[in-house]
Structure 1
Amino acid sequence: MVVKVFFPSCCPEAESGLLLGRWIPEQNAAVVLAIIHYPFIPGQVKQYLEQIKNVTTVNVSVLGSWSSHSSRTEENQFLQDLSSLFPHGFWFQLTQEKENESVFNCHVVQPCRKNNEEDVILIHYDQRKVMLSKLHDMDTKILGNNHNPEVKSEVINSDFAAIFDTVAKCELLFTIDKYDETPIKFTHWQSEGRETSVVVELVKQASVPICMVLLFLVTLVLNICKSRILNVWPLHILWSKLSTRVQLAHRLDHLQTIASTTKAQNHTEFMRKANLFVSFLIDVGLGMLLILWLYQKNRIGQLADALIPAADHIAKKLQELLEWLMGAPAGLKMNKALDEVLGRFFLYHIHLWISYIHLMSSFIEVMLWYVGLSACLGLTVALSVVSDITSLLTFHIYCFYVYGARIYCLKIYGLSSLWRLFRGKKWNVLRQRVDSCSYDLDQLFIGTLLFTVLLFLLPTTALYYLIFTLLRLVVVVIQGLIHLLVDFINSLPLYALGLRLCRPYVLAAGVKFQVFQKVAGKPLHLLMQINPLTYRMIIERYRLPTYSCYPKDSWAALCKKLFVGKLIYPWKRKTGKQD
């Protein structure tokens, strides 16, 4: 039988004493947590072990003795004789060689057996890294095909989870250093002094009042948003259509979670809070940088001066496009009367739009100056405002698309109904199916006339619909890219990625072993190292929930809607959250 002894890499320099740790029978392994030094009283050691068990719920016990290279023979014999005072299934006697301090002799004593020869593997581990790390279970669905819902998910628990859990739960043991006036002296990774930071302690003390004030402000803003002021009919409709409203509500939810004074119950809740907090800080920081860039060198004025000529240029190009459609576009034979009516109708809308833009030209710079201040709420809010401004500036294109789509859709549905009339069928509205039907000659004659008229007018309508649909799709793609960028910033787990970059051992995917010392006739020495999670696995595990703006229809359904003339909103946000 092979016995594994996990030995802290900070303890080979320790003086002689007792090995304090936990025995894990399922894995036939012993985890050494600390070394108790002289002078000590066995009764005090037992009392302290009971206190640790009650607080940490870890079955901590004395596993054996440790003899350093500078110890005397009498001390070693005394430590070995203590096995009768601390009964245990296995009593490990680790002795450090005087010639080579990195080589240990390990003798395993079992009181119930006469033959005490056991193969021992000494595994050196970094106690600080193991205590601070979180060992993640491997999910075969994540490792395999994460996009196929039919793939069954199987969680693979690491065999070393108990070792990591033991070291993490015994954090109380590591708070005792040599400067504390305690009857028992230990050697562990913090025995020379506790690792702490004045800044961290100050932040901890100030976090509670700050969170209470922030929670009060967020609650006040939420109550104002839910008041009757914004529920008035026109304001309610306009407010519900804005991307800025969706992003502000999303950030308010984040602030409510961050400002909550309830302590995180587990690692997942802590990481979610930390990711939200870091994401909010970086978002606001990027927004402040954007404000600094916009308000330097009068860039707001330059943007306002360039906006009106750009709108005039777009309107002029649209006017030229309509004049081209009113002629013989690409040599196509169009219905002259219908072409003239549609062309003049759309030209009149362009004229109204240009008049509106020039009427607002004197206020645009002031409006942009105040809109630029929205970036102080975060870069994502500023991008949402840009998306809303894009919708406002291209409202005439949206109107053209709606007019063209409605006319085209009516003709498509009219032609399909009349085509069923020729075949002696009709659409049953109640049963939602096509049934047989008999028509008289008058109905067939009128249907033939209407079918002929709609069929010959269809190319003219279809051309206008095609042109304005393409223009609308260009605007939709631009807004879709903005929404994707906003969702990317909202969902990115920046705190977890920062840990992976600065402290990769904190988010552990597993462990690996390296041969540390191999001497004939001596126990094999291995060095345990932590394998961190990959960046892809971190994003998959800790990705923040966000309001998805991905297309709600498949590409086939989208093409079908475009063909029959139904209105499309492929980047419309859903009301539910997507994880």
Structure 2
Amino acid sequence: MVLKAFFPTCCASADSGLLVGRWVPGQRSAVILAVVHFPFIPIQVKELLAQVQKASQVQVAVLGTWCYRQQEPEESLGNFLEGLGAIFSHDPWLQLCRERGTRLWSCKASYHQMANTLDTPTEDQVMLIFYDQRKLLLSWLHPPPVLPDCQVGDTTASTGGLADIFDTVARSEILFRNDQFDEGPVRLSHWQSEGVEASILVELAKRASGPVCLLLASLLSLISAASACRSKLSTCEQLRHRLKHLSFIFSTEKAQSPMQLMRKANMLVSVLLDVALGLLLLSWLHSNNRIGQLANALVPVADHVAEELQYLLQWLMGAPAGLKMNRALDQVLGRFFLYHIHLWISYIHLMSPFIEHILWHVGLSACLGLTVALSIFSDIIALLTFHIYCFYVYGARLYCLKIYGLSSLWRLFRGKKWNVLRQRVDSCSYDLDQLFIGTLLFTILVFLLPTTALYYLVFTLLRLLVITVQGLIHLLVDLINSLPLYSLGLRLCRPYRLAAGVKFRVLEKEAGRPLRLLMQINPLPYSHVMHTYRLPSCGCHPKHSWGTLCRKLFFGELIYPWRQREDKQD
């Protein structure tokens, strides 16, 4: 039978000694974690293994021997290594040997207990698989969305059989990072973590961050309680969303899973990037008196928009595109909307002396983040186009009233009526007076419908234009809020950190020699990174499908195609 031995590449040139690792019986695999060098005392090795098992909850044992020979084989060393199997007694007992200065390897796996009962030597064929201990320790194995492409000479492994391998190396981190095992009487060879001074600084930062996070979490909870009022403004929604992010970042609770830890890192990077972009926008606004220039340009732009709307209404009050309109209704609607435009321009001119101060204070909000500034800009657009919204509501209500009136009168002609209690159309008999009044009302509504429909169509298009601009702003805010920048940075700079599986590359395949493979990590695709680590967002998305939206537009029902989304916390 074939036995798989996962051997760390950092131990390929280590001195002779014992192979320490874990045996995975379900997969007939041996995960070698370190090499114990000579000289050593067996009782000290067993005490070391007991300490590691207690600290990591990994069944670490001596799996065999490792021999890194000189050009001439040392018979005494070989006999001594073979005799160690009786002291540690592990089945199967691995015997790995490499000739110094050459690429020749020999691998054997023997069973001492079975050999004693059967009086015959029992051995297995060993497949030697090299792996990078550091990359495997820092990696997090994900289920791949699709099977990755295999190169020539490579084979791809599924994540199901590799979960135990990754878990063994990850849980044995104390063996690689704790210096008490290396400074004791037993010398080990394994991957060594670098930057001891940096780790000390990180530990001090962790200890100091506890009280700071507790204080910030208390302040954020008070601010969240104070801002618990519900508001439809985009700025309030974005501030509440950022408060949730900051509360999660500065929470003192320890992350229960790598997913929560990655989410916290993504939120922190997202907030930092948002604030950095906001500060850049703030510096741009306050340089060269750009706020004053915007304030001076705002009133002329409002006047120009008002003039264009007045020209549009005057065009509708005439014979637009040669259409025959109802003169009386056309004049009433046109003058009604012109009066609203006059009121709105008077309000803008009344506020013109304070516009620069308002924009200056609004610009300071960019220090809270670019998303907050964009949300305020969206609310400003909503306030500046409030008259267009009013026109749309007036036109939609009037058009909807006529559409439902015509549909009700059409049912009257067919001897039908709408049953309000049962929510269905039932048969009904009408007398002559009811039919005469119904015919008269139906005729009036039909002749008035083109004028109302034209006003409704024009102002609906203007309203949809404003909604489209606000939707693009909200999509940009949603992108900044939900983009997992930390995960994308890991995928770009250290692709082995997010693993979607592994692939094996054949190093040596010769008759009479053990098969040697190199295990390489397949990184997670960028699309899967975005799907897995995407942050919850308060951005907007269509409330209705396109079919429902078109039906509402046709019947004159009010539409709010952009609404705030409430993502579920995983």
Please give the TM-score of this superposition, normalised by the length of structure 2.
Answer: 0.93
Q: Counterpart in 2 of 1:481?
A: 472
Task: Give the structure 2 partner of residue 264 of structure 1.
Answer: 255
What one-letter code is carried by the residue in structure 2 that aligns with 1:412?
I
User: Is residue 62 from structure 1 mapped to residue 62 from structure 2 by the alignment?
Assistant: yes
Q: Which of 119, 125, 128 is 2:125 aligned to?
A: 119
Whichever residue aligns with residue 396 of structure 2, its letter is A
Secondary structure of the structure 2 residue equivalent to 1:247: helix
AA paired with 2:142?
A: H
> In structure 2, what is the Cα distance between the partners aligned to 1:194 and 1:118?
42
Q: Which amino acid aligns with 1:37?
A: H
Q: Secondary structure at the match of 2:96?
A: strand
Counterpart residue number, 2:549:
558
Structure 1 pair 377/390, CA: closer, same or farther in 2 (3 Å)?
same
Q: Give the C-alpha shift of residue 180 in structure 1.
A: 4.7
SS in 2 for 1:120: strand
Which residue of 409, 433, 447 maps to 1:442?
433
Residues 8 and 132 of structure 2 are in contact (CA less than 8 Å); yes or no, is this contact kept in structure 1? Answer: yes
Give the match for residue 108 of structure 1: 109
User: Which residue of 2 is the match for residue 494 of structure 1?
Assistant: 485
**Separation in 2, partners of 1:251, 1:562:** 35
User: Which stretch has the larger CA shift, 519-528 or 7-16?
Assistant: 519-528
Aligned to 1:235: none
Distance 1:405 1:388, change over 3 A: same
User: How far apart are residue 491 of structure 1 and its match?
Assistant: 1.2
- Structure 1: distance between partners of 2:290 and 2:514: 72
- C-alpha contact (below 8 Å) 2:227/2:240 kept by paired residues: no
Q: Any conservation in 2 of the 1:103–1:517 contact (CA below 8 Å)?
A: no
* 1:337 corresponds to 2:339: no
> Does the residue aligned with 1:183 lie in a helix, a strand or coil?
coil
Per the alignment, residue 158 of structure 1 pairs with 160
Q: Give structure 1 stretches of 5+ with no counterpart.
A: 144-155, 231-238
SS of residue matched to 1:523: coil
Matched, 1:128 2:119: no
For 2:378 and 2:5, locate their aligned partners in 1 and report how far apart those are by CA, in whole Å.
61
- Structure 1's 329 and 199: CA in aligned 2 closer, same or farther, altered over 3 A? farther
Q: Give the residue type in structure 2 aligned to 1:12.
A: A
CA contact (8 A) 1:18 1:62 kept: yes
Which amino acid is the alignment partner of residue 132 of structure 1? Answer: L
Alpha-carbon distance in structure 1 between the residues aligned to 2:250 and 2:184: 39
1:354-390 deviations in Å (ceiling 9; x for gaps): 1111111111111011101111111111111111001
Asked whether the 8 Å contact 1:92–1:107 carries over to 2, the reply is: yes
The amino acid across from 2:59 in the alignment is N
Once the two structures are TM-superposed, the CA of residue 198 in structure 1 deviates from its matched residue by 5.6
Q: How does 1:362-511 map to 2 (within 5 A)?
A: 362-511=353-502
Q: Distance in 1 between matches of 2:231 and 2:31?
A: 58
Match of 2:185 among 183, 186, 195: 183
Q: Secondary structure at the match of 1:10?
A: helix
Segment drifting more, 399-408 vs 488-497: 488-497
Alignment match, 1:147: none
Number of equivalenced pairs: 554
Are the structure 2 counterparts of residues 408 and 473 from structure 1 closer, same or farther at C-alpha, using a change threshold of 3 Å?
same
**1:177 and 1:519, CA in 2 relative to 1: closer, same or farther beyond 3 A?**
farther
Q: For residues 206 and 567 of structure 2, what CA distance do their matches in structure 1 show?
A: 34
- Structure 2 match to 1:289: 280
| Secondary structure, aligned partner of 1:505 | helix
- Secondary structure of 2:564 counterpart: coil
Who is 2:152 aligned against?
A: none
Give the corresponding residue for 2:295.
304
Residue identity opposite 2:50 in structure 1? E
CA distance in 1: counterparts of 2:560 and 2:411, whole angstroms: 30
Structure 1 counterpart of 2:278, one-letter code? G
Q: Contact 1:546 / 1:577 at 8 angstroms: preserved in 2?
A: no
- The answer to whether the 8 A contact 1:211-1:260 is kept is yes
Provide the rounded CA distance (Å) in 2 between the counterparts of 1:246 and 1:57: 46
Separation in structure 2 between the aligned mates of residue 26 and residue 413 of structure 1, nearest angstrom: 71
Query: Aligned letter for 1:333?
Result: K
Q: What is residue 152 of structure 1 aligned with on the other side?
A: none
Percent identity for Structure 1 against Structure 2: 64
Structure 2 Cα separation of the partners of residues 442 and 196 of structure 1: 94
Counterparts in 2 of 1:192 and 1:396: CA distance versus 1, 3 Å: closer
Tell whether 2:234 aligns with 1:243. Answer: yes
Deviations 1:493-523 (A, max 9, x none): 1111111011110100000111223444221
Choose 193-202 or 252-261, whichever is displaced more.
193-202
SS of structure 1 residue aligned to 2:558: coil
**1:32 counterpart residue number:** 32
Query: Does the CA contact (< 8 Å) of 2:182 and 2:188 recur in 1?
Result: no
Structure 1 residues 176 and 256, CA, compared in 2 at 3 Å: closer, same or farther?
closer
- In the alignment, the residues of structure 2 paired with residue 315 and residue 440 of structure 1 have an alpha-carbon distance, to the nearest angstrom, of 51
Is 1:22 the counterpart of 2:28? The answer is no
Q: What residue identity is the alignment partner of 2:297?
A: A
Indicate how the Cα distance of structure 1 residues 83 and 103 shifts in structure 2: closer, same or farther if over 3 A, else same. same
Give the 3-state SS of the residue equivalent to 1:569 in structure 2: coil
| Corresponding residue number in structure 2 for 1:570 | 561
Match of 1:150 in 2: none
Kindly state the Cα deviation for residue 430 of structure 1 after the two structures are TM-superposed: 0.4
Closer, same or farther in 2 for the Cα pair 1:513/1:195, shift >3 Å?
Answer: farther
Letter matched to residue 27 of structure 2: Q
Which position in structure 2 is the counterpart of 1:313?
304
Amino acid in the other structure paired with 1:107: K
1:204 to 191, 206, 222: 206
The question of whether the paired residues in 1 share the 8 Å contact of 2:175 and 2:181 is answered with no
| Stretch moving more, 267-276 or 202-211 | 202-211
Aligned-pair CA distance for 1:222: 1.5
Question: 8 Å contact 1:22–1:32 — kept in the other structure?
Answer: yes
- Which residue of structure 1 aligns with residue 151 of structure 2? none
SS at match of 2:207: helix
Deviates more, 1:206-215 or 1:382-391: 206-215
- The yes-or-no answer on 1:358 pairing with 2:349 is yes
| CA distance, structure 1, for counterparts of residue 482 and residue 335 of structure 2 | 47
Cα gap change, 1:79/1:214 in structure 2, threshold over 3 Å: closer, same or farther? same
- Quick check: 2:133–2:191 contact (8 Å CA) kept in 1? yes
Shift of 1:63: 0.5
Give how far 1:137 is off: 2.1
User: Could you tell me which residue of structure 1 aligns to residue 84 of structure 2?
Assistant: 82
Q: Check 1:179–1:18 CA distance in 2 against 1; reply closer, same or farther (3 A cut).
A: closer
- What are the Cα deviations for residues 36-80 of structure 1, in whole angstroms up to 9, with x where unaligned? 012211111112212222221111100101111248432332122
Distance 2:194 2:472 in 1: 54
CA contact (8 A) 2:8 2:133 kept: yes
* Distance in 1 (alpha carbons) for counterparts of 2:204 and 2:268: 18
Whole-angstrom CA distance in 2 between matches of 1:311 and 1:176: 68
Q: Matched residue of 1:66: which SS?
A: strand
Deviation (angstroms), 1:115: 3.8
- Which digits, 9 at most, give the CA deviation of each residue in 1:329-352, with x for residues without a partner? 000000011000000000000000
What does the per-residue CA deviation read over 1:268-313, in whole Å, with 9 as the maximum and x for residues that have no partner?
1111111111111111111111111111111111111111111111
Partner of 1:168: 170
